[in-house]
Amino acid sequence: MDRRRQNTCSHIATGHLVLALALLSSLLLGVAKANLADNTHHVVIVTSSDSSYQQRTASRIQQNIDSANTQTLVISADELATSPKSSYTVYVAIGERAITSLNNYASDAMVLRINNRKLQSTNYTSVQSDLITEQPACKHLQLIQALNPRWTTIGVLASINTLDTTAKLTICAIKYNLNLQVYAITDESDLLTTLETAVENNHVLLAIVDPLIYNSKTVKNILLTSYRHRKPVIGYSDSFVQAGAIAAVYTSPETTGDDAVNILRDFFANNWQFKHQIHKPSDFEISTNSRVADSLDIALPDQKTIVKRIRNMENRP
């Protein structure tokens, strides 16, 4: 009888042990699943508009960042307010509207901001960084020299918002022995009068990223005025060239997307911390408008020659 009781107790103890092990296994599996979920990289790409550049950039990021442990979503700035928040979400805000909307939505969010210029009110933390798509100041002067080394006097319209850019251009102009003339625009009412002076007194007008001066309301008149004076305009984007500038050096959406992917991968590998506050484009593209150049009796080199000349200037000490 005692032996039967001992066997029964033994079976009960074994059953309890099996049950305990099963519960422990289930608990550990749940923790593992939770950790796996926590380690998933959620990337939300927020666009400011449906422009081709932004959509191509977003698509490039989504295609190249997707992996087994990364989930991506592309939304517009208007959809941001209704999207769910997660502490494991990294945002990629493309353009000023998306950047502003995200800041209002979650000012402490982990974010890579992509814009053609640095916003003056930007604050930086280890989980917030900028990818500036505007090409370095020297690159624009190198383009002008590559197009025509006789274009040595260069006019630039600038507002108070672009003092940093004009300062860099001035340093580069000294390096390349160019005469850079900066014309201050304090108000839009000054624009056309100052523009007339700038195009009359220089070989070429260099446009820089400055929304106060170059925007949808002003670009057409600026291009027409320059064309009337038979002076070329150097733009800062492919769309600017399509509108009537003769050439531009710019960052393609594919390069922007690839750069963003590399920055995000470094971010995840670096314990979810950005290594740098500001990132610059890794490469450049050239766009030319032969139709406008021909109408101004300007013979443009082919794009391969232009790129080769710029590369040669980059390699000079």
This prediction's pTM: 0.83
Q: What percent of the chain has pLDDT over 90?
A: 74
pLDDT tens per residue, range 232-290:
999 999 999 999 999 999 999 999 999 999 999 999 999 999 999 999 999 999 999 99
Please report which confidence band the pLDDT of residue 82 belongs to, taking 50, 70 and 90 as the band edges. Answer: confident
Report the pLDDT value the prediction gives residue 10, as an integer from 0 to 100.
52
CA dihedral over 204, 210, 211, 213, signed as positive or negative: negative
- Under a CB-based contact definition with an 8 Å cutoff, are residues 71 and 93 in contact? no
Report the pLDDT value the prediction gives residue 28, as an integer from 0 to 100.
41
HSE of 71 in the Cβ direction (CA atoms, 13 Å)? Answer: 9
Rounded CA separation 72/55 (Å): 14
Higher pLDDT, 219 or 125: 219
Rounded to 5°, the CA angle 284-290-293 comes to 105
Rounded CA separation 244/291 (Å): 9
Q: In what order do the strands lie in the sheet with 110-115?
A: 70-76, 41-47, 89-94, 110-115, 128-132, 278-279
Residue 178 makes CB contacts below 8 A (sequence gap 6+) with 141, 144, 145, 152, 153, 154, 172
Question: What torsion do the CA atoms of 43, 49, 53, 59 make, to the nearest 10 degrees?
Answer: 30
Burial class (CB in 10 A: 0-12, 13-18, 19+), 122: middle
pLDDT tens per residue, range 133-153:
999 999 999 999 999 999 999
Beta strand ranges found along the chain (DSSP E): 41-47, 70-76, 89-94, 110-115, 128-132, 153-158, 179-184, 204-206, 233-235, 247-250, 278-279, 285-288
Residue ranges and CATH numbers for the domains of the chain are 38-133+253-279 (3.40.50.2300), 137-251+283-314 (3.40.50.2300)
Assess whether pLDDT exceeds 50 at residue 21. no
CA–CA distances in Å: residue 316 to residues 87, 145, 231, 310, 312: 47, 14, 29, 10, 7
Average pLDDT over residues 122-126: 81
Q: Which residues pair with 194 in a beta bridge?
A: none
Q: Could you give the angle at which helices 219-228 and 191-200 cross, rounded to 10 degrees? A: 30
Report the pLDDT value the prediction gives residue 39, as an integer from 0 to 100.
64
Report the pLDDT value the prediction gives residue 264, as an integer from 0 to 100.
95
Higher pLDDT, 20 or 162: 162
Q: Are strands 179-184 and 41-47 parallel, antiparallel or unpaired?
A: unpaired
Please report which confidence band the pLDDT of residue 2 belongs to, taking 50, 70 and 90 as the band edges. Answer: low
Please report which confidence band the pLDDT of residue 131 belongs to, taking 50, 70 and 90 as the band edges. Answer: very high
Report the pLDDT value the prediction gives residue 275, as an integer from 0 to 100.
93
CA nearest to 232, candidates 148, 160, 127 = 148
Report the pLDDT value the prediction gives residue 90, as an integer from 0 to 100.
95
Q: What percent of the chain has pLDDT over 70?
A: 86
Please report which confidence band the pLDDT of residue 25 belongs to, taking 50, 70 and 90 as the band edges. Answer: very low
Assess whether pLDDT exceeds 50 at residue 77. yes
CA dihedral over 111, 129, 54, 39, signed as positive or negative: negative
